Structure 1
């Protein structure tokens, strides 16, 4: 140790070492994974969707097919609200968890697969989804050798269940009827405002 450092109090030297250690840690800290960034963007988009009303074009698309509902952030948000009213939101939660799982880093696949399985698939899971015995057993075996697609069969089954069952009721639900009513009223008010503006313009321009 040089003479200058030797004359410093021990507490100062310790603080300097602590600062050096923290700087080294920050420099070595890895950048967030692309997967994490994508998930953050998706959650941000979902939050934004929850704070706005769907457009008439979106609602009309949802009526065409269940795929349009599931491929839309707003569609999934509205459909999830409907599932909550039927106490079956675990189906959407599981489907979303499977989509997130596919983007999990390879080093975390085994851990995440076990979490998803214990949360949604195994018998008496906290948010158990409705799977037949064969699919449940197949999924259990897949989880033992986790890969990005070990929930593929179970996810497809729940997707089909939502499409054939919940989606049909969703289209005839009060939720959709209220959305359509709101949009119809909004369209009428907009049309009336446009007419009023046109009449006012004619008065101001002398009927030209």
Structure 2
């Protein structure tokens, strides 16, 4: 009996040639630029140099609005965006000044990412999960720090290297390099 992953004998594989990758890369570059077209930031255009710097470190990638958007897109394509969403949510959480808002937001973060079987449950150990459960009762700016460090480490060791090897990143680099040589 064939398994669910066996292919029929006449299955044809879809293989992207260079032109397909170029077209897809251009399309993605346009979407990225459009996302930030109203931005007044100094990082107004996606450049080859900036994109190459993403490979220096995860921190460098996340500091770039285009890098962050591209990385999130990559993680979504792998159905593993809960880590970056949690990390970003924690970064926003740390900016909260009101203790009432902090308490309310801490509970939402717990329900969404920490609680077992939550919709976007992150991969953390039992002790960290229990510590956060206690922290949420009287939340501080540091309530999620341990989990955030764990998640960052997971992304740095697992998702980030896969991103650097991904078609999405390599095609983006190829297209930007081609554009740079055209002038």
- TM-score band by shorter chain is 0.7 to 0.9
CA contact (8 A) 2:52 2:173 kept: no
Alignment-derived partner of residue 187 in structure 1: 180
Matched, 1:125 2:118: yes
CA contact (8 A) 1:49 1:73 kept: no
Alignment-derived partner of residue 135 in structure 1: 128
CA contact (8 A) 1:90 1:129 kept: yes
Alignment-derived partner of residue 165 in structure 1: 158
Alignment partner of 2:81 out of 82, 89, 93? 89
Can you give the 5+ residue segments of structure 2 that lack an aligned partner in the other structure? 1-33
How much does 1:58 deviate? 1.2
How much does 1:55 deviate? 1.1
Q: Give the TM-score normalised by the residue count of structure 1.
A: 0.65
* Structure-to-structure mapping, 1:55-134, within 5 angstroms: 55-104=47-96, 105-134=98-127
CA contact (8 A) 2:48 2:180 kept: no
How much does 1:148 deviate? 1.1
Can you give the 5+ residue segments of structure 1 that lack an aligned partner in the other structure? 1-45, 191-208
* Structure-to-structure mapping, 1:22-37, within 5 angstroms: none
Q: CA RMSD in A?
A: 2.0
Name the larger-Rg structure. Answer: 1
Q: How many residues align?
A: 145
Alignment-derived partner of residue 36 in structure 2: 48
Q: Give the TM-score normalised by the residue count of structure 2.
A: 0.74
Higher helix share: 1
SS for the counterpart of 2:136 is helix
CA contact (8 A) 1:94 1:120 kept: yes
Between the aligned partners of 1:63 and 1:109, the Cα distance in structure 2 is 34
Higher relative contact order structure (alpha carbons within 8 Å, sequence separation ≥ 6): 2
